[in-house]
Each structure stands twice: as structure tokens, then as C-alpha cells.
């Protein structure tokens, strides 16, 4: 007997959560690593997001099989479509995380601790919170709760944007030499990746609202 539609969907959700939790753990480790430029923690963070492309491809194939076997309608169809798009967002978030680790590892020892504490740590804190809140939405079904959590994710994502604009403005003023300019430019490029991770979180949150509440979704 073929597994039921719900059993297949639960399996897909479980695999999505596995990748999402790996993404969350990776970004938590980055937050810890920033405090003292701990290279071992940066390496450990990378380990949580290995082989993501192969994992998301496998999930996509399972979703396509579910669509072919069960031809779901209405809310069930919205959920399957949302999951299919979420795999892409998770893949992009993991890619941004790898880029952030790579970029900040290169510049971390050249940036003073005060600058990291003032800008990088708050940005990454909001990024972690955005991912955490988004993953919590997966198990909620109450529409009001889902909308409230979505709004909280949006707040954290906006914080990363505001902090990035602040750091961009302030570091530009501090770049009083070519050497400083290059150092700060590398830091800005790395921090931009942290903001993009938060952007991927809000995209996933938006897809979950679409899946469970309905309405339009935006990429």
C-alpha cells in the first residue's frame, strides 16, 4: 500500500526542519565565534550546512512524486508548493551562511573587538532570531499565531537592514586610509551576507503564511 498523502507531507516537513535546524545551529555558532574570532567555531558552523544541495534536490524529487501521486487541491496544494519553494530558500540561506563564514574569517582578526561587538554581533543576533522564529512557524496552525510570528520575523529582518545601513555609514567615516578602507569594505561584504540570511528567513516565513493562511506570496 502506498503511504498516505499526509505521511509523505510529514516526511517532507521533517527533512525541511532538519536542514533548517542545521542552518540555525550554524548561525548560532557564528554568533559565538564572532566574540573572539574563534576559527574552530567557524569550522564547526560550516559542518552544519554540508551537502545542502543534494539534500534539497532529494526533497524536491519527493515533492514532485507527491504531486504526481496525489494531485492535492486547495490548502494541501498550497502547502506542497510552499515546501517546494522553501527548499530553494533554505539552499540560498545556507549558501549565504557559507559566504558569511568565509568572508568574516578573512577579516575577523583585522577588525577591532569593539567594532565587532557594536555591529556584527547585533546583526547576527537578529539573524539567528529571524531563523528561529521562522522555523517555529512550521508547527503552528492557528492563523493569528502564524501572523504574529511572521510580524516578529519581519521586525528582526528589518533590524539587520537598519544595522547594516548604520555600520555602512559609520565605517565609511572611519576609513581614513586605504588600508582601513579595504579592511572595512571586506567587513561590509561579509555583514551583507548576514543580512541576506535574514532576508531568506522572511521569504520562508512568507511562504509558510501562504501555505497555512492563503493569499499571495512574494519572492
- Name the DSSP letter for residue 37: T
The predicted-structure confidence for 89-113, as pLDDT tens digits, reads as follows: 999 999 999 999 998 887 777 766 6
Q: What is the CA radius of gyration of the chain?
A: 19
Residues 154 and 150: their CA atoms lie apart, in Å, by 6
Q: What are phi and psi of 128, to 5 degrees?
A: -60, -45
Is 160:195 a contact under the CB 8 Å cutoff?
Answer: yes
| Mean pLDDT (the chain, rounded) | 89
Q: Give, for 85, the enclosing helix (H) or strand (E).
A: helix 74-107
The predicted-structure confidence for 170-212, as pLDDT tens digits, reads as follows: 776 665 654 666 777 777 888 898 899 999 999 999 999 999 8
pLDDT at residue 179 in the model: 60
Domains of the chain: 5-212 (1.20.58.220)
Is 57:193 a contact under the CB 8 Å cutoff?
Answer: no
Is 130:156 a contact under the CB 8 Å cutoff?
Answer: yes
Give the sign of the dihedral formed by CA 63, CA 65, CA 67, CA 72.
negative
Q: What's the whole-model pTM score?
A: 0.91
Residues 196 and 89: their CA atoms lie apart, in Å, by 11
Between 179 and 154, the higher pLDDT residue: 154
Amino acid at each position: 500500500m502506498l503511504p498516505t498523502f499526509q505521511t509523505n507531507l510529514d516526511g517532507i516537513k521533517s527533512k525541511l526542519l532538519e536542514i533548517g535546524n542545521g542552518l540555525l545551529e550554524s548561525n548560532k555558532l557564528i554568533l559565538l565565534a564572532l566574540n573572539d574570532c574563534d576559527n574552530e567555531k567557524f569550522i564547526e558552523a560550516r559542518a552544519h550546512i554540508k551537502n545542502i544541495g543534494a539534500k534539497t534536490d532529494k526533497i524536491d524529487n519527493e515533492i514532485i512524486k507527491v504531486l504526481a501521486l496525489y494531485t492535492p487541491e486547495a490548502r494541501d496544494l498550497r502547502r506542497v508548493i510552499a515546501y517546494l519553494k522553501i527548499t530553494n530558500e533554505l539552499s540560498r540561506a545556507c549558501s549565504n551562511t557559507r559566504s558569511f563564514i568565509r568572508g568574516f574569517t578573512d577579516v575577523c582578526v583585522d577588525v577591532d573587538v569593539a567594532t565587532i561587538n557594536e555591529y556584527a554581533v547585533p546583526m547576527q543576533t537578529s539573524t539567528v532570531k529571524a531563523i528561529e522564529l521562522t522555523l517555529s512557524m512550521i508547527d503552528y496552525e492557528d492563523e493569528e499565531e502564524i501572523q504574529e510570528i511572521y510580524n516578529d520575523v519581519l521586525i528582526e529582518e528589518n533590524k539587520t537592514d537598519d544595522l547594516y545601513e548604520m555600520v555602512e555609514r559609520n565605517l565609511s567615516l572611519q576609513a581614513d586610509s586605504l588600508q582601513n578602507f579595504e579592511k572595512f569594505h571586506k567587513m561590509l561584504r561579509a555583514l551583507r551576507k548576514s543580512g541576506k540570511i535574514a532576508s531568506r528567513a522572511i521569504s520562508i516565513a512568507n511562504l509558510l503564511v501562504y501555505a497555512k493562511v492563503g493569499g499571495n506570496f512574494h519572492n
